[in-house]
Amino acid sequence: MSDKARGNKSAAKKASKSAKSTTKKTTKSAAAKTPSTPKPDVVVEPADTAAELPPRSIDSSHAEFVAATSLAPLANPLRDRQDRRLPHMPEPCALVVFGITGDLARKKLLPAVYDIANRGLLPANFVLIGFARRDWEDGDFASLAHDAAKEHARTPWDEGVWQRLANNIKFVSGSFDDDKAFDRLARTLTDLSDSHGIVGNAAFYLSIPPAFFQTVLRQIERTGMANNHAAGGWRRVVVEKPFGHDLPSSKELNDLVDDVFTWRDVYRIDHYLGKETVQNLFAFRFANTLFEPVWNSHYVDSVQITMAEDVGIGGRAAFYDQTGAARDVLQNHLLQLLALTAMEEPVRFIPSAIRTEKLKVLRAVSLPADLRGNAIRGQYRQGWLAGERAVGYLQEDDVPDDSTTETFAAIKLHIETRRWAGVPFYLRTGKRLPRRVTEIALTFRQAPHLPFAPTDTDELGHNQLVIRVQPDEGVTLRFGSKVPGTVMEVRDVAMDFLYGETFTEGSPEAYERLLLDVLLGDATLFPLNEEVEASWAVVDQLEDFWEGQKPFDYRAGEWGPPEADRMLARDGRAWRRP
């Protein structure tokens, strides 16, 4: 903290503590009451694959209308969907964002809407509806949206594009427990169907604190907004992470959301899957012959997946202190990266095939029988980062003085499959680490034999393949090379592929890509409920083990607590220092 706010902390802390216990109780008692809808255990997605569905198409009059009214696409249209017979542009529709004044909506969603429009990928009859507590008119919301989009857009700013969007911006004021507000929203949608030709198509984005997911879903159900079969249009829902707090609460939420909407219309968002480099994992692994033969326990010694952030918790203490690093990012981003790294090749690039392979990995995850020393939690103390003093977690605004919430987690796990038997996967994430970096590093076994005697100066390590998700997106291959000279001295060198140097097109922001996918009805990059539950099954074991324990300390600006280093040292390995 800023030392300034320390004086106001104790009242805020009390409120935060009471909110915490209330949230937990509510979740548990609700879980006990809600009957669970039986669900198929196997991931068979009957009719959502391109092969099983009749091809979607935009009718020709609409296509002509779109061609006449939209901007020419910028370079880098998001992708070629032809082989999957999906349209490139959504049908006329409305996007309803709950929590439109929040951090995510301002920094990511509103800019994403603008960027999609700027690439010429939004139909002219697209309507954006914001829902929030402010006593605003449409114009007030349009003004917030304009400023947010302009500040955070990825594509160049074009006032003309914005003005076309601004003509179709609506605002509905109300709180989540206000029935009348939801009635107004339902009427607004019906009216827009007629006046703006959105033919009843609407996506609802729950960009709201997870504690309100159930309330809002119930309101959508009560007002009949989830169902639009009579009008022949579609209704979809996007639920932000974290999807539940543990396995029982995620099952309860899955049951509810699949009940209110048709399961196929539920989009559980994990924005890491929208990152270009994460999708490149598919290309890297399955479009090349070079890597597949060595992508297994015969050649791979170990795998490290790191998601490090230099930032702290920002102003999100109320959320973060109830959540912690494991629930915030390990349960979703890190385990999804793991699944993509370890999965078998999907039979086709379609949602059901990809989700099936990811799920097999997540269900094959096994944690060490003894988690002591193999599941490390940390919490940052005051330290120095990039030359600046950073306060400790306990001094952050609204964090209770005695909080035991972790801001760092490092774990070891195995994947019980033939491909990965015996290969340890080390996952770590943390806030206030020395730098922001997300990467997947495969370390290969050492050569079993050297035909020349090593010299004293040899620096021959293991071969390593590093997929950098962010920043400096790219791939690095480390291998031994002869040092020029008269003796056979070998040293590790790196071969680098950098996205930024090879491709001139800027990649779309993750939320832009995923939002467009929702409007197009393309669920390929959205985890299935079974994946979410399999991930919670892993994280619940960790949380049970950590229950009642204090996290280890690390100073802001360090790579986590020393115990995390010891975890690898015991195995004769070390974390990469990216």
Ligand X SMILES: O=C1O[C@H](COP(=O)(O)O)[C@@H](O)[C@H](O)[C@H]1O
Binding residues for substrate: 271, 275, 309, 328, 431
Cα gap 377→334, rounded to integer Å? 15
333 is an active site residue: yes
Q: Min. distance of Cβ 238 from ligand NDP in angstroms?
A: 10
Is 329 a residue that touches ligand X (CB under 6 A)?
yes
What is the nearest approach in angstroms of ligand X to the Cβ of residue 230?
37
Instruction: Give the nearer residue to ligand X in terms of CB position, either 329 or 514.
Output: 329
Where does this chain touch ligand NDP (CB under 6 A) — which range of 95-103, 341-349, 429-437, 484-492? 95-103
Which sign does the torsion angle of CA 277, 281, 287, 293 carry? Answer: positive
The residue annotated as part of the active site, out of 62, 88, 196, 333, is 333
Query: Phi and psi (nearest 5°) for 233?
Result: -95, 180
Rounded to an integer, what distance in angstroms lies between the CA atom of residue 299 and that of residue 291? 11
**Choice from 94, 128, 208, 523 touching ligand NDP (CB under 6 A):** 208
Considering only residues 306 through 335, tell me which ones interact with ligand NDP, judged by CB under 6 A: 319
Beta carbon of residue 500, minimum distance to ligand X (angstroms, whole number) = 17
Residues 6 or more apart whose Cβ sits within 8 Å of residue 307: 329, 333, 334, 337, 428, 429, 438
What is the phi-psi region of residue 224: left when phi exceeds 0, alpha when psi lies from -120 to 50, beta otherwise? left
- Between 329 and 391, name the residue whose CB sits nearer to ligand X: 329
Point out which span in 3-11, 61-69, 97-105, 451-459 binds ligand NDP (CB under 6 A).
Answer: 97-105
Minimum distance from residue 563 beta carbon to ligand X (Å) = 22
Q: Which element (helix H / strand E) includes 464?
A: strand 464-470
Q: Of residues 48, 115, 240, 512, which one binds ligand NDP by CB under 6 A? A: 240
Letter for the amino acid at 462? H
Which window, 34-42, 209-217, 272-280, 305-313, contacts ligand NDP (CB under 6 A)?
209-217
What phi and psi values does residue 363 have, to the nearest 5 degrees?
A: -75, -15
Antiparallel, parallel or unpaired: β 388-390 and 300-308: unpaired
329 binds, among ligand X, ligand NDP, none (CB under 5 to 8 A by kind): ligand X
Taking CB under 6 A as the binding criterion, the range among 206-214, 218-226, 354-362, 538-546 that sits at the site for ligand NDP is 206-214
Closest-CA residue to 76 (of 118, 123, 122): 118
Task: Give the Cα separation of 556 and 315 in Å (integer).
Answer: 17
Q: Where are the beta strands (DSSP E) in 284-374?
A: 300-308, 365-366
Among 115, 321, 328, 489, binds ligand X (CB under 6 A): 328
Query: Could you say which of 8, 175, 366, 446 contacts ligand NDP (CB under 6 A)?
Result: 175
Query: Among ligand X, ligand NDP, none, what does residue 286 contact (CB within 5–8 Å per kind)?
Result: none
103 lines the binding site for ligand NDP (CB under 6 A): yes
Q: Which of residues 436-465 bind ligand NDP (CB under 6 A)?
A: none
Nearer to ligand X, 307 or 490 (CB): 307
CB atoms within 10 A of CB 179: 11
Would you say the C-alpha torsion 418, 423, 424, 429 has a positive or negative sign? negative
Annotated binding site for NADP(+), which residues?
133, 241
Interaction partner, residue 102 (ligand X, ligand NDP, none; CB < 5-8 Å by kind): ligand NDP
- The interface with ligand NDP within residues 125-144 (CB under 6 A) comprises 132-133
Q: In the complex, what is the shortest distance from the CB of residue 139 to ligand NDP, in angstroms, rounded to a whole number?
A: 18
Q: Which does 103 bind (CB under 5 to 8 A by kind): ligand NDP, ligand X, none?
A: ligand NDP
Query: 3-state DSSP helix/strand/coil percent for the chain, to nearest 5?
Result: 40, 20, 40
Nearer to ligand X, 206 or 260 (CB): 206
Strands 408-415 vs 365-366: parallel, antiparallel or unpaired: antiparallel
Least distance in Å: CB of 380 to ligand X? 13
Q: Binding mask 499-538 vs ligand X (x if CB under 6 A, - otherwise)?
A: ----------------------------------------
* Binding-site residue positions: 133, 241, 271, 275, 309, 328, 431
Distance CA(245)–CA(457), nearest Å, equals 52
Task: Give 216 or 247: the residue with its C-beta nearer to ligand NDP.
Answer: 216
Rounded Cα–Cα distance for residues 541 and 247 (Å): 10
Minimum distance of ligand NDP from residue 328's CB (angstroms): 8
Q: How many residues does the chain have?
A: 578
CB of residue 108 to ligand X, shortest distance in Å: 9
Residues 53 and 59: beta-carbon distance below 8 Å: no
132 touches 101 (CB < 8 A): yes
Among 309, 406, 473, 517, interactor with ligand X by CB under 6 A: 309
Nearer residue to ligand X within complex by CB, 329 or 538: 329
How far apart, in whole angstroms, are the C-alpha atoms of residue 353 and residue 339? 13
531: Cβ–Cβ under 8 A, 6 or more apart, which residues?
A: 336, 339, 355, 358, 359, 362
Are the C-beta atoms of 220 and 502 separated by less than 8 Å?
no
Q: CB-based contacts of 340: which residues, under 8 Å, 6+ apart?
A: 278, 281, 282, 358
What does the CA dihedral 108, 113, 116, 117 come to, rounded to 10 degrees? -150
Which residues participate in catalysis according to the annotation? 333
Q: What is the contact surface with ligand NDP in residues (CB under 6 A)?
A: 99-105, 132-133, 175-176, 207-210, 212, 240-241, 319
Residues within the interface to ligand X (CB under 6 A): 309, 328-329
